[in-house]
Amino acid sequence: MTVKIYVPLDSGSVALGADEVATAIAATAAKRGEDVQIVRNGSFGMYWLEPMVEVETSRGRLAYGPVAVEDVDSLFDAGFLNGSDHKRYLGHTQDIPFLKAQTRLTFQRCGIIDPVSLDDYRANDGLKGLENALKMTSEDIVKAVTDSGLRGRGGAGFPTGIKWNTVRQAPGDQKYIVCNADEGDSGTFADRMIMEGEPFVLIEGMIIAGLATGATKGYVYTRSEYPDAIRIMNEAIEVARANKLLGPKVLGSDYAFDMEVRMGAGAYVCGEETSLLNSMEGKRGVVRAKPPLPALEGFMARPTVVNNVISLCSVPVILEKGAEYYRDFGMGRSRGTIPIQIAGNVKHGGLYETAFGLTLGEIVDQIGGGTASGRPVKAVQVGGPLGAYFPRELFDTPFDYEAFAKADGLIGHAGVVVFDDSVDMMKQARFAMEFCAIESCGKCTPCRIGSTRGTEVVDKIARGEDPEMQKELLADLCETMKFGSLCALGGFTPYPVMSALTHFPDDFRPHALDIAAE
Amino acid sequence: MSATETTEEISVRVGTICDGLAGLEGPLLPILHEVQEEFGFIPEGALQTIAKKLNLSRAEVHGVASFYHDFREEKPGRHVIKICRAEACQSMGADDLSDHAKRKLKVDWSETTSDQNVTLEPVFCLGLCACAPAAMVDGKVIGRVSKDRLDRILSEVES
């Protein structure tokens, strides 16, 4: 009988050797005359166990990891095709504590299915949300999303239903759904993972958004740094077309929707929705002043929904199980689940989807298991390069949009980057300014010039040139950038800079910064 | 591409790319990507052809091509090594790794070794933040890159 073996195709897993492991398993099986079928699935997001190989046995799916090419022979010797014990044996995949403790609504099939098999997707309750939506009016779909409390998962946390309603009511014979998959924040990889591991849920979410707003065309704008995600999304779109999920008659209805993938070109600012729209139109990715809102004048000056990947991927489950089901997870005004990405210097790095409300300390110390280096945690940056650095003293902050804002931070796209005590916070503050200078679109002065001046001011502090005065100047500069910039790039750069200065003042004493030669 | 290719020959090849993609809504970025795929960079001579095909000025096309980090004006080395410089990778020693690569290759960021073999580029996040530090070698992603691992990669691309 053919034994099914799962080896992830997720680029995180591939980066750790999954392709070589898959090849070795196939070769070894052939040599030993074993009948195996290798399925390349998505990742469950437990990167310290990747590449994680699973075997389908009569007892269910059993996991082994992290598997290196050198382990393959001994796995066969030990009889892993029957689920036998081995030093890499992890037990039932779903019982691995890190996975078992999660609430996976958005990522429910990621890792389980073959990403480009629509049959697998359907067999695991895929398309149920869309089937329900096809029986509803656009008004009712928008109402369900509004009632669910879903907010943008890209950073700003704007209520998704309200945005959809604006587009639904906007006049226009052509409307668009644009999926912002320009996941440029360090520490974030949820978009990449779900596009590589479960692309149909994004396609389904985009079709539902189209139904709700009257849009018939969708675009996924993603990054050139994600070649694997682009390849898999394109493959899934072709499968969807071949199966009439996309096209002039979606699932046999009178409704038309089609979509394509667009690739960015290495500009971080294009993750900002108006820069993204300019970039899609073939212009320089500079920000647009708002108003007009993209909901009214977006892509090609037509009404456009711009949503993050995870927002759109959360929609199918809301339409499948109802607004209340989703809303009942979470705390305060932060409803539903959030895929937290635990990264950097951390023992158990990976994706952890759960309801809002865990404290930062629980995420870092308990779930993440502390640092990979074994040294004490010094700082945690939440929300990407524009997010604040949190010291241990703020570890009781609950993961909730409002609570983070109250602590002068932001959740952003929910990336959590852990640093041990070897980090130099003045260097991190300098990097934030430098990054802003490199990536500024140049349209507004506070961002374009403020970031370069900011880098210089930090260098003066490091050299001991009137440091106290320079610190005041830095704070003043940050204030100007925060309130004078057109978009979040200049406006949020003060978060990492000021949080470093406020919480780690000892690092802002004059000392040589170990800066890589520019 | 042969070193002796004339502007006219470049123009023909770029024109074919434009004709294939001009029907897209907002075709300029896809065209630039494909031109770079074809030539390895955006040849100076391509700008005028693209401008003509899309009814834009040459300056507008140049303005777009020069805005984005991905588009190169010069042919890169035979191998392109990108090292992530973003925070998650920094927390795991990416700065040391970058310095090591620069020293070994005797280049700075965005430069090509004198034998035209390797171009070293910075990248800000490959989405491999849970297996940092990360790099990309000729489009292939690599996680948890140590100095030893980087040395092995360098000797592989040099052989």
Q: Which of A188, A265, A299 sits opposite B33 (nearest CB)?
A: A265
Please list every residue in chain A whose beta carbon sits closer than 8 Å to the beta carbon of residue B54.
Answer: 282
Q: Work out the pLDDT band at A517, boundaries 50, 70, 90.
A: very low
Summarize pLDDT for A355-371 with one digit per residue, the tens: 999 999 999 999 999 99
Summarize pLDDT for B46-88 with one digit per residue, the tens: 999 999 999 999 999 999 999 999 999 999 999 999 999 999 9
Contact in structure between A356 and A329 (CB atoms under 8 Å) = yes
Q: Which two tokens stand for residue B63?
A: 């303005």
Please list every residue in chain A whose beta carbon sits closer than 8 Å to the beta carbon of residue B87.
Answer: 186-187, 344, 381, 385, 417, 428, 431
Summarize pLDDT for A107-137 with one digit per residue, the tens: 999 999 999 999 999 999 999 999 999 999 9
The pLDDT of residue A518: 44
Q: Burial level of A34, CB count in 10 A (0-12/13-18/19+)?
A: middle
The pLDDT of residue B52: 97
> In the predicted model, is pLDDT for residue B35 greater than 90?
yes
The pLDDT of residue A334: 86
CB atoms within 10 A of CB A93: 23
> In the predicted model, is pLDDT for residue A478 greater than 50?
yes
| CB atoms A345 and B71 under 8 Å | no
Summarize pLDDT for A391-447 with one digit per residue, the tens: 999 999 999 989 999 999 999 999 999 999 999 999 999 999 999 999 999 999 999
CA–CA distance, A464 with A451 (Å, rounded to integer): 20
Which residues 109-148 of chain B have a CB within 8 Å of chain A?
Answer: 109, 123-132, 134, 136, 139, 141-144
For chain B, how long is the longest CA-to-CA vector? 51
| CB atoms B67 and A514 under 8 Å | no
Where b means 16+ CB within 10 Å and e means fewer, A424-447 reads: bbbbbbbbbbbbbbebbbebbebb
Summarize pLDDT for A2-56 with one digit per residue, the tens: 999 999 999 999 999 999 999 999 999 999 999 999 999 999 999 999 999 999 9
Summarize pLDDT for A181-228 with one digit per residue, the tens: 999 999 999 999 999 999 999 999 999 999 999 999 999 999 999 999
Summarize pLDDT for B93-124 with one digit per residue, the tens: 999 999 999 999 999 999 999 999 999 999 99
Q: Work out the pLDDT band at A147, boundaries 50, 70, 90.
A: very high
ipTM of the shown complex: 0.95
**Stretch A480-502: mean pLDDT:** 96
Q: Which of B124, B127, B129 sits opposite A226 (nearest CB)?
A: B127
The pLDDT of residue B3: 54
| CB atoms A300 and B25 under 8 Å | yes
CA–CA distance, A327 with A69 (Å, rounded to integer): 44
Summarize pLDDT for B12-21 with one digit per residue, the tens: 999 999 999 9
Q: Burial level of B139, CB count in 10 A (0-12/13-18/19+)?
A: exposed
Q: Which of A189, A350, A381 sits opposite B127 (nearest CB)?
A: A189
Contact in structure between A84 and A173 (CB atoms under 8 Å) = no
Q: pTM of this prediction?
A: 0.96
Residue A197's nearest CA partner among A223, A152, A225, A228 is: A228
Distance from the B88 Cα atom to the nearest Cα atom in chain A, whole angstroms: 4
Cross-strand pairs, A416: A342, A382
CA–CA distance, A423 with B101 (Å, rounded to integer): 21
The pLDDT of residue B130: 97
Summarize pLDDT for A310-345 with one digit per residue, the tens: 999 999 999 999 999 999 998 888 899 999 999 999
